[in-house]
Structure 1
């Protein structure tokens, strides 16, 4: 319940921003307030803004009431810079617009664009943005710029500060200035001349103090994100350029950047990487000094503990476990415009290192799949430590930089310091060419003694970095709350006074993200520490990094996987007796919809999670726990009478279709919506894309020459819902179309006995009925073993999600194929393909992606049609079996923007009937099985 100024603010702001984007309930403020750092504050209000006008209104209303405001992009920052106990402003939809400028020499981006998506846009021009943080697949441009994030290949020459061309800024009072627009600059000069004059005066002060100016220049010769970008005061004389460069790395404490123009950098077509091994850290660091003079784009140092943390992971060499205790690795990448130039560079690098002692021969690979795997492992070092930590502890990554000539000594000293403070599991790795080291360790904050241990350790780290080696306490992760108490220690009194003056100039009321960068509390770094109580064994290793979020179908509707876990952790924490907080019942009740009902449980999150956590499995387990005796009885009855249930479902669809023909679509949609909402979701939401029931599956005996025996298992979804919708001219069902393809390929088709009663269990498992799902899988297993002669005959299932579950649960002897694999691997040489002149759309289901078949789906589609469109950023469709009928808003949110991307396509194709329903509805084109397309464009080679 809001009180005082926050209640007044809420009343004012809801006249501009819809209430559904103003979050005040306890569960969602906790979940949305969580970021990747080890700090936690719970916001009073979370606002999802969708445009600049809303940002300006929030700032003006908050300013009138003197309420702090913090901005959040992806929440992947690690130093506590994106949390608040006041107003949290998150980027909603509408912040991912872009324009490619000057023949791709520049790109204008909004802050909601994910970094790797910007690179995808630029890829056809062989360009990219300069910053390349390890979180680039999740981090958004707003955060990348606000933290001056760099990365493995970026160094100090290609970060946001160095590649910035212009930006559009919203200041604390709501004023907007576009530094790339002369009209905007002139208007700002008239209205806010005091800021420009203040910046010019600060520059004069710096230049009048040669010692201070030189210190600033020295501090930025290596990576440094501690404090503000004071180099702007010595690098530029135009106050607008000073202003925009001060915004870089300011962590939302000086203003909100609503657009940025980057100068792009070259993305070389030819790359090669080598994982080099040296006998110890000192030898490895000596090699780095030699590599710095070579055409090396990146050199990532990994100590022995780092290598141990990834030993046994896919793609890593088998010999890692046999290496000596001091062996240190460097992962090197070199790039060139041509293959010949690349080969010459590799030879040059090897020659430069010829006199350095190595543990193994230096070998490079230019095979993309191989070097991509090496870099994937490197990016996963931080979470790898988190995955093996003791439950209840947090994983901390610190980020320092040293002058490269001191890298060896500093690394050795850092290792000794970690061991002295009993952080025996710690790993050290980093961007060696920039002298930038990360060290990762686990920490228990549940006792005061442990908090003191961390405090004392950090005090020694500060002395080591600053007093002994004159380095940077934060090289690329930003100051946040983590290093705010040490900014003055690192910079000195004069430079710190400049930072305070800059803050006063832009934010005199200290309204923007207070406590970040500048904080007078010398113990701020050990306060507001995030609790990580155990909540479920399937997700307890989650470090809340947020890497999973971009692929989640409910990310713009309710919770992401990270937020589902954070919400459950809070519920678990309060179960242990946290008094004086929101009632536990309220959190549990809210979690039912936010966390459980609207989770597609597709498991795609595990493909982006560095430690492979499948949050969907936790949700299925929670659904199972929530079932009562009645629900179990219904599930058992359904499993026992499955043939009748499937026939009833098909008949119901046919009846509803006849009703649809009689009443028309508008009336049918109105009645269906009223029924769905009036029964609080008990009645599923009918939609115009629902198909009819499929005819009964039957096959005739076949005696074709060169016949191939095939066991065909049409999924229960295909049998019950595999008929055409009312707009289709082909009135056959999916099983009949599949049989047609098999017939053209001269296949002898075998159907399993008692087919109508068979189910893989997917429909049960997704709802949390695990026992019933496994029982149905057992029945199917026996039937398929009989039909396939114990696996001698290949088995085709026409639905990808069912096939994936079959592979996970059935007898390993069974040779199981989903549609794409079966056509390409078995049928392609038995059919004649005639490509149709058409533009078609494709949707790779979650299971198709998880089985690594999305590229093969496109390969098959290109055999069938001249042009194939694969919509960007559409992952799981959110239909999730029947969830698209019971919670249609999930399907609508997951497929937001699909219709625009497939406009102009004649039809779309996929490998799951239920997914195709939602895709047809929201894509506004018919989506069909890929077998339908194959049937249309093929004839028999032996007619």
Structure 2
């Protein structure tokens, strides 16, 4: 039940914003009350805003009812700056528009664009963003700028503060200012002349105070995000530019930034990196001081514990496991505009390091595939270390900076302090070239003495950094709540009062993200800790960093992978404590749809998780528990035992529906089917025009035993029953075309025995029937082993998700291939490809992506057609087997960005390697999607024959020369 003012706010805001994007329920309030930090507050109302008008209205109503408002983009922040117990406005998924300006030298963008996506957009121009935080693959530009997140290589010379040009802002009174627009500035000046006059007054006062001005310059000569950014008052004359740069690092405490323009930086083509190993951390720091004047773009330090946390990661050398405890690595990067320049840089760096003894010889690599892995490993250190923590403890990361000349001594002191407080798993790593270190330790907050330990430790960190070295308590992670009580000590009374004056000017009622940066509670940093109750080994290593969300197709729709873990942890905590049974029941009930039913289980979340957590596996585990409790095991077992009886029924049913479709047409049948689905409470599966016709059964042929080219072809149960849809350009069933293609390449095609009773087990696994899934996999494995002569012949399965499970559960003796891989490896040298002058799209299914086959998919398509489109930001389609029929809203949301790309590129057809995925793609893309096998078959001839191919009504025709 909302309190009175929140109820009034809600009743008014729902006039402007549809209730489907206004959340007040227990489960989503909990899920969105969590960011990557170690605090948690539960919002009263969550608004998923999609435009300025909605944000403006929300801010005006918050003003009217004196209700605090907090803004969030991706929620990867670490210091408690993106949480609230009031109103949370999320501006992410709907805020992704952009314009590339001045041939890539600038880019104007909305706040919800992910940093890595911006770099993809800029790549063709040879440019990139200046800021490069470790979270760049997940963090959004709004959060990057508002926290002044800098990262590994940008230092203070290419960070958000130095590269921001202009911004479009919504102030607490609802006024919109676009500093790139002269008319907007004139209008603002008319309405807010006192505001601009006050900015100018503060500017002049600061500049007149030489002691304060010098202090500001000194503090910002190194990375510093402690407190509000007050350096604009000495760096800029123009009051509007001062306003823009005050936004950088303000953490949403001054205004909402809907759009911004940033300068980009050159992204040199020639790069090289080396992981250099030193015997101890002090020597490593001294080496960095020596490299500082040289051609070093970045130098990232990893102490022994940090190395240990990633020593099993792909790309890390095996010998790291044998290092002694003191060994410290420095990951160095150098850039150049030519190969000769790069080689000279490497020579100079090695020369600068001659005085330092290394554990192993210094070896640079300029191979993208090698150095990219090293930098990806560095980006994943924080979550990886968190994944090693003891269950139930909280992973805390702090972020300090020292002047470079103090680095060796300060690092030694910091290491001693961590040891003094007994943090045996404490890690020091980070941006050594900028004197900026992160240190990680795992803390339990269950007992008062543990909170006191953390409190005392933080006070000693404050004393060490500020009193001894005059460094920064927060270098790039933002002040948030956990460093707010220490801002005054670091800056002093005069500078702190300046920050308070700025806050008062922009937000006189203290409604914008109160408690962040400016907080009068000296103990706010030891309150509102989140709990991380152990749930299951599959997800317990999660630190809720949010890196998974960029690859979670339901992020922003129902729950994300991170949020599913958050909710399950709270459910487990409430079960353990026995408190608040009503809340527990609400969370459990809400999770059924938001958490379990709408999860595609595709596992792509694991591909961006530094510790490889596959939340989909956990959801399937929960489904198996539901199966054990309630679902019809007997029926499932009957289906597994009598699978051969179902194929004719499915074929007949599909043929009947296709016949009705032909008679009634798409519009009428869609209306009738939709009506029945609505009446049934959505229990009747969705019908769409992309629904396939029934397929004829496969027909094995006599095998020529003398032919050495043999392949075992297993048509998936889907391919055996589902043919093309009514409007598809190809009319033959997939299994028939596949067989013909293989024979065209000279292969003898062997079908496993009793094909119509075989299945890989995926349909059972996805629903939680693990026993039956394994039974079917085992039956198929035996049949394939026999058909392949004990693994002698390769095995082709025409459906990628089926093959993915087969590879996971079957004996490695079997040589298993999915369509793209088999074509690329076995057919491209045996067939002549005649590329068609068409624009085609390809879709990489989740399993294709996880098997690393997307490049081969594109390569095969490019051998077939002159114009191939692989739509950006379209990942898993969300169809998930039959789930797309029952929860089509997930499929629609997952593919929301598909059709605009296809329409813009004038795509005529799409190709993939999973029939059910193709149904969803066709329905949401507006063009037919079919197996890539159809395209390959259409454009190829045997290399041994001289033939031409002509296209007549979508059918293949050969003409002898």
Is the TM value for this pair above 0.5? yes
Quote the RMSD (CA, aligned, Å).
1.2
What residue number does 1:438 align with? 438
- Name the CA distance, whole Å, in 2 between partners of 1:42 and 1:630: 34
TM-score scaled by structure 1?
0.99
How far is 1:535 from its partner? 1.8
How far is 1:576 from its partner? 2.1
The answer to whether the 8 Å contact 1:552/1:604 transfers is: yes
How far is 1:579 from its partner? 3.1
What residue number does 2:913 align with? 911
Q: How does 1:75-224 map to 2 (within 5 A)?
A: 75-224=75-224
- Name the CA distance, whole Å, in 1 between partners of 2:706 and 2:788: 20
1:349 aligns with 2:349: yes
| SS of match in other structure, 1:294 | coil
| SS of match in other structure, 2:568 | helix
How far is 1:441 from its partner? 1.0
- Name the CA distance, whole Å, in 2 between partners of 1:706 and 1:860: 26
In structure 2, relative to structure 1, the CA distance for the partners of 1:493 and 1:729 (3 Å cut) is: closer
Report Cα offsets for 1:162-190 as digits up to 9, x if no partner: 01111111001110011111111111011
- Name the CA distance, whole Å, in 2 between partners of 1:638 and 1:695: 21
In structure 2, relative to structure 1, the CA distance for the partners of 1:207 and 1:270 (3 Å cut) is: same
What residue number does 2:475 align with? 475
- Name the CA distance, whole Å, in 1 between partners of 2:210 and 2:620: 64
Q: How does 1:751-766 map to 2 (within 5 A)?
A: 751-766=751-766
What residue number does 1:71 align with? 71
The answer to whether the 8 Å contact 1:149/1:159 transfers is: yes
The answer to whether the 8 Å contact 2:730/2:934 transfers is: no
In structure 2, relative to structure 1, the CA distance for the partners of 1:436 and 1:630 (3 Å cut) is: closer
| SS of match in other structure, 1:806 | helix
In structure 2, relative to structure 1, the CA distance for the partners of 1:578 and 1:493 (3 Å cut) is: farther
What residue number does 2:950 align with? none
How far is 1:697 from its partner? 0.4
The answer to whether the 8 Å contact 1:704/1:746 transfers is: no
| SS of match in other structure, 2:329 | strand
Q: How does 1:542-621 map to 2 (within 5 A)?
A: 542-577=542-577, 579-580=579-580, 582-621=582-621
Q: How does 1:397-546 map to 2 (within 5 A)?
A: 397-546=397-546
| SS of match in other structure, 1:333 | strand
The answer to whether the 8 Å contact 2:485/2:525 transfers is: yes
- Name the CA distance, whole Å, in 1 between partners of 2:595 and 2:721: 29
- Name the CA distance, whole Å, in 2 between partners of 1:384 and 1:730: 48
How far is 1:901 from its partner? 0.5
What residue number does 1:698 align with? 699
Report Cα offsets for 1:301-344 as digits up to 9, x if no partner: 11122122222322111111222322211100001111111111
- Name the CA distance, whole Å, in 2 between partners of 1:838 and 1:888: 30
Farther off after superposition, 642-651 or 475-484 = 642-651
The answer to whether the 8 Å contact 1:834/1:937 transfers is: yes
How far is 1:208 from its partner? 2.2
The answer to whether the 8 Å contact 1:398/1:439 transfers is: yes
- Name the CA distance, whole Å, in 1 between partners of 2:28 and 2:923: 30
What residue number does 1:288 align with? 288
How far is 1:677 from its partner? 2.5
What residue number does 1:60 align with? 60
Report Cα offsets for 1:100-141 as digits up to 9, x if no partner: 111211110110111111111111111111110000010001
What residue number does 1:255 align with? 255
The answer to whether the 8 Å contact 1:407/1:435 transfers is: yes
Report Cα offsets for 1:428-448 as digits up to 9, x if no partner: 001011100000111111111
- Name the CA distance, whole Å, in 1 between partners of 2:819 and 2:828: 12
- Name the CA distance, whole Å, in 2 between partners of 1:578 and 1:85: 24
The answer to whether the 8 Å contact 1:26/1:582 transfers is: no
What residue number does 1:684 align with? 685
Report Cα offsets for 1:458-492 as digits up to 9, x if no partner: 11100000001100000000000010010001100
What residue number does 1:924 align with? 926
- Name the CA distance, whole Å, in 2 between partners of 1:735 and 1:758: 15
What residue number does 1:740 align with? 740
1:658 aligns with 2:659: yes
What residue number does 2:957 align with? none
- Name the CA distance, whole Å, in 2 between partners of 1:671 and 1:780: 39
Report Cα offsets for 1:191-212 as digits up to 9, x if no partner: 0111111111111221222111
- Name the CA distance, whole Å, in 2 between partners of 1:218 and 1:168: 30
- Name the CA distance, whole Å, in 1 between partners of 2:141 and 2:204: 32
- Name the CA distance, whole Å, in 1 between partners of 2:185 and 2:939: 60
The answer to whether the 8 Å contact 1:148/1:159 transfers is: yes
User: Unaligned regions of 5+ residues in structure 2, if any?
Assistant: 946-961
| SS of match in other structure, 1:711 | strand
What residue number does 1:712 align with? 713
Farther off after superposition, 674-683 or 631-640 = 674-683
- Name the CA distance, whole Å, in 1 between partners of 2:909 and 2:436: 51
What residue number does 2:954 align with? none
- Name the CA distance, whole Å, in 1 between partners of 2:835 and 2:103: 35
How far is 1:693 from its partner? 1.6
How far is 1:702 from its partner? 4.7
Farther off after superposition, 205-214 or 596-605 = 205-214
How far is 1:582 from its partner? 4.3
- Name the CA distance, whole Å, in 2 between partners of 1:149 and 1:205: 29
Farther off after superposition, 277-286 or 608-617 = 277-286
- Name the CA distance, whole Å, in 1 between partners of 2:647 and 2:485: 65
- Name the CA distance, whole Å, in 2 between partners of 1:539 and 1:615: 7
What residue number does 1:245 align with? 245
Farther off after superposition, 836-845 or 821-830 = 821-830
What residue number does 1:940 align with? 942
In structure 2, relative to structure 1, the CA distance for the partners of 1:54 and 1:578 (3 Å cut) is: farther
Report Cα offsets for 1:626-651 as digits up to 9, x if no partner: 12455211111110111112221221
The answer to whether the 8 Å contact 1:705/1:746 transfers is: no
In structure 2, relative to structure 1, the CA distance for the partners of 1:238 and 1:730 (3 Å cut) is: closer
Report Cα offsets for 1:820-859 as digits up to 9, x if no partner: 1111111222211111111100100000000000001001
| SS of match in other structure, 2:725 | coil
- Name the CA distance, whole Å, in 2 between partners of 1:730 and 1:84: 55
Q: How does 1:329-348 map to 2 (within 5 A)?
A: 329-348=329-348
The answer to whether the 8 Å contact 2:92/2:111 transfers is: no
- Name the CA distance, whole Å, in 1 between partners of 2:421 and 2:710: 67
How far is 1:536 from its partner? 2.1
Q: How does 1:838-917 map to 2 (within 5 A)?
A: 838-903=838-903, 904-917=906-919
Farther off after superposition, 321-330 or 889-898 = 321-330
Q: How does 1:774-853 map to 2 (within 5 A)?
A: 774-853=774-853
| SS of match in other structure, 1:473 | coil
| SS of match in other structure, 1:243 | helix
Farther off after superposition, 471-480 or 325-334 = 325-334
What residue number does 2:952 align with? none
The answer to whether the 8 Å contact 1:564/1:595 transfers is: yes
- Name the CA distance, whole Å, in 2 between partners of 1:313 and 1:406: 32
- Name the CA distance, whole Å, in 2 between partners of 1:175 and 1:686: 47
| SS of match in other structure, 2:244 | helix
- Name the CA distance, whole Å, in 1 between partners of 2:896 and 2:346: 46
How far is 1:671 from its partner? 1.8
| SS of match in other structure, 1:14 | helix
How far is 1:583 from its partner? 3.0
- Name the CA distance, whole Å, in 1 between partners of 2:581 and 2:7: 19
The answer to whether the 8 Å contact 1:556/1:893 transfers is: no
- Name the CA distance, whole Å, in 2 between partners of 1:148 and 1:203: 21
